[in-house]
């Protein structure tokens, strides 16, 4: 005769309940892990997200301008911060007049504009240098895709309102090549890796892929 007897079932259920109560009592508050370090969330992230708590407050995540005036960056779900393998999600806010540097990266990127408006400058990587970029007006509820290694820049050209965007990148952690001008050769672009918000967690150099 196979299976578990009723008396065994009665013993297993209380044991399981006791285990989960003990487990969750031992878990530190999520906000405590955030305060400890930018790199310490990864250890407890999957403990929290493997069960029932799939929500957390964005306001509790690390936020900084990383030395760039007018920028507010939050890694909502990241490779180094949370252990994601294929994608990374950022929430970025640009004050009026602020902008990203002219740059490219070896991953795809999708932007969703949450509020505000601005200008996207986009150039191909198929020539020796980016050249004169195409200009695209971006606005609330618009979305756009940046192909791998295409040179681009986002600028908040709205003088009266912040530009806030959700950015999703592939192949994290990101490595970025910056340009001083649109006619600067690709070979002269400067590699920044790890990028500013990854510096505390990653110290491994990478090569250009062009």
Peptide bond into 183 cis (omega under 30): no
As a whole number of angstroms, the distance between CA 59 and CA 125 comes to: 37
- For residue 171, pLDDT over 90 is answered with yes
pLDDT tens-digit readout, 57-116: 788 888 999 999 999 999 999 998 888 899 999 999 999 999 999 999 999 999 999 999
Task: State the chain's mean pLDDT as an integer.
Answer: 80
What's the pLDDT band for 202 if we cut at 50, 70, 90? confident
Average pLDDT over residues 163-177: 96
- For residue 132, pLDDT over 70 is answered with yes
- For residue 34, pLDDT over 90 is answered with no
């Amino acid at each position: 005769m196979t299976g578990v007897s009723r008396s065994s079932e009665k013993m297993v259920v209380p044991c399981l309940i006791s285990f989960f109560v003990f487990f969750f009592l031992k878990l530190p508050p999520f906000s405590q892990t955030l305060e400890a370090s930018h790199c310490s969330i990864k250890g407890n992230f999957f403990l929290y997200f493997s069960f029932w708590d799939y929500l957390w407050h964005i306001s509790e995540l690390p936020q900084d301008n990383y030395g760039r005036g007018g920028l507010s960056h939050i890694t909502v779900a990241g490779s180094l911060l949370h252990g994601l393998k294929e994608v990374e999600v950022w929430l970025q806010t640009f004050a009026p007049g602020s902008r990203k540097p002219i740059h490219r990266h070896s991953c795809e990127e999708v932007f969703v504009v949450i509020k505000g408006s601005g200008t996207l400058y986009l150039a191909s990587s198929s020539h020796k240098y980016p050249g004169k970029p195409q200009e695209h007006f971006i606005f609330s509820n618009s979305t756009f895709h940046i192909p791998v290694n295409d040179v681009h820049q986002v600028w908040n050209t709205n003088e009266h309102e912040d530009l806030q965007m959700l950015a999703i990148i592939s192949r994290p952690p990101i490595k970025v090549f910056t340009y001083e001008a649109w006619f600067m050769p690709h070979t002269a672009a400067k590699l920044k890796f790890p990028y500013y918000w990854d510096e505390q967690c990653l110290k491994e150099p990478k090569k250009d892929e062009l």
